Amino acid sequence: MNPDRGRSGTSPEPGLNRWVRPAVRELRPYHIEDAAGLIKLDAMENPHPWPAELRGAFVEALRSVELNRYPDGEARALKQRLRGYLGLSDDTGLLLGNGSDELIQMIGLTVGGPGRCLLCPEPSFSMYRILAAVTGMRYVGVPLCGRDFDLDHEAMLGAIDRQQPAVVVLSYPNNPTGNLFERRSIEAVIEASPGLVLIDEAYFDFSGETLLDRVTGRPPVLVLRTLSKIGLAGLRVGFLIGDPQWLAEINKVRLPYNIGALSQASADWVLSHAEVLREQALRIRRDRDALCSALRRFEVLEVWVSHTNFLLVRAPGLGESLHAGLKAEGILVKSLHGSHPLLADCIRITVGSAEENQALLAALARRL
């Protein structure tokens, strides 16, 4: 989107070109569509509400939060809870962010600057490119293999050798393609990388696959997780796991009170009932597989296997029109057409509740 547009008739403010950093001037903002009144299957949220019988206890737990005080800047209680939840030993580093996006930004602020580069396969999570630009890094994208979206082993190793990236980011499983890269290729990327390797496991709860066992080795691997996709997107809590010396450096660029008091208390309470989250994640996995099979019955659709809570779907030749058609039917999905050549005619559908998935299938039956 051109920021000069919309103020029709006015010429661009001259100060903009002079003072706004070119990397920021050139950015296209992260686009979030207005979902008002629509069935929301665009943002990988958990569709299941918290069980009614637990809500009273949750609200009770928040009563003691003192909003006149700053939150605990180190979020000690929540970190302790997370260590238990993740089974982390005390000598493994743990850092919290206001969503995992903020942690990627913090890594960029720590290692970014002139001559520094962030490298990742693409298509992948669009925030990597934005955060590279924001933190003064060159962004290098290496195309995934065409059909199954696996890492292009040779191309990745070649690019790493040429670019010497400060940080390589792998989304595991990958957003928006939903697949897990071959572990063998990931190991080769780790071995070849001169700098950090960030493994973004935003969808761990739906894949069950992790590289957490690699964070203590060399070269440094950091694992990124979030509470957003398992049901707490509104809280904005992400966490980074890895070498304590690296995390101590990254911690220096963190704003002192980056996790609000209500988010800390909420996340702590919710994780003390982690069995609810686990049960919901299991349900979403089952619904995903059922939805995948149902979508495959539409002959015109190509549907990829997913290790996440969303499905990548191609409707050859339809371009933007399937997204628009579903929106007209009251269903919001993510349009990927135009975002990358490998994603022509693609949409990404977040797995919804059973009723929402039925509504989607009915809408598709009318439109296809």
Ligand X SMILES: *Cc1c(COP(=O)(O)O)cnc(C)c1O
Residues contributing to the site for ligand X (CB under 6 A): 44, 99-101, 125, 171, 175, 200, 202, 226, 228, 233, 238
Cite the DSSP H helix spans in the chain.
14-19, 22-25, 52-63, 76-86, 100-111, 127-134, 153-163, 183-192, 204-207, 244-251, 261-271, 274-296, 321-328, 354-367
Closest distance of CB 160 from ligand X, Å:
20
Closest distance of CB 237 from ligand X, Å:
7
Question: Are 198 and 104 contacting, i.e. CB atoms less than 8 angstroms apart?
Answer: yes
If the CB atoms of residues 193 and 207 are measured against ligand X, the closer one turns out to be 207
Closest distance of CB 120 from ligand X, Å:
10
If the CB atoms of residues 270 and 363 are measured against ligand X, the closer one turns out to be 270
Question: How far is the C-alpha of 110 from the C-alpha of 105, rounded, in Å?
Answer: 9
If the CB atoms of residues 96 and 364 are measured against ligand X, the closer one turns out to be 96
Question: How far is the C-alpha of 142 from the C-alpha of 159, rounded, in Å?
Answer: 7
If the CB atoms of residues 99 and 352 are measured against ligand X, the closer one turns out to be 99
Instruction: Identify which of 292, 291, 315, 290 has the alpha carbon closest to the alpha carbon of residue 305.
Output: 292
> What distance lies between CA 187 and its chain's CA centroid?
22
Closest distance of CB 336 from ligand X, Å:
13
If the CB atoms of residues 232 and 261 are measured against ligand X, the closer one turns out to be 232
∠ CA 99-224-160, rounded to 5°: 125
If the CB atoms of residues 100 and 318 are measured against ligand X, the closer one turns out to be 100
In sequence order, the 6+-apart residues with CB closer than 8 A to the CB of 123 are: 144, 149, 176, 177, 336, 339, 340, 342, 343
If the CB atoms of residues 197 and 364 are measured against ligand X, the closer one turns out to be 197
The three-state (H, E, C) secondary structure of 10-43, written as one string: CCCCHHHHHHCCHHHHCCCCCCCCCCCCCEECCC
Question: Are 264 and 111 contacting, i.e. CB atoms less than 8 angstroms apart?
Answer: no
If the CB atoms of residues 30 and 70 are measured against ligand X, the closer one turns out to be 30
Closest distance of CB 328 from ligand X, Å:
26
Closest distance of CB 63 from ligand X, Å:
26
Q: Is 347 exposed, middle or buried (0-12, 13-18, 19+ CB in 10 A)?
A: buried
Token readout for 151 is 């890492």
Closest distance of CB 123 from ligand X, Å:
11
If the CB atoms of residues 131 and 265 are measured against ligand X, the closer one turns out to be 131
Closest distance of CB 322 from ligand X, Å:
21
Give the pairing type, strands 39-40 and 331-332. Answer: parallel
Closest distance of CB 227 from ligand X, Å:
7
Closest distance of CB 7 from ligand X, Å:
30
Backbone angles phi, psi at 8, to 5 degrees: -60, 140
Nearest residue to ligand X on Cβ basis: 99
Cβ neighbours around 15 below 10 Å, total: 8
Type of residue at 216 = T
Considering only CA atoms, give the Rg of the chain.
21
If the CB atoms of residues 101 and 243 are measured against ligand X, the closer one turns out to be 101
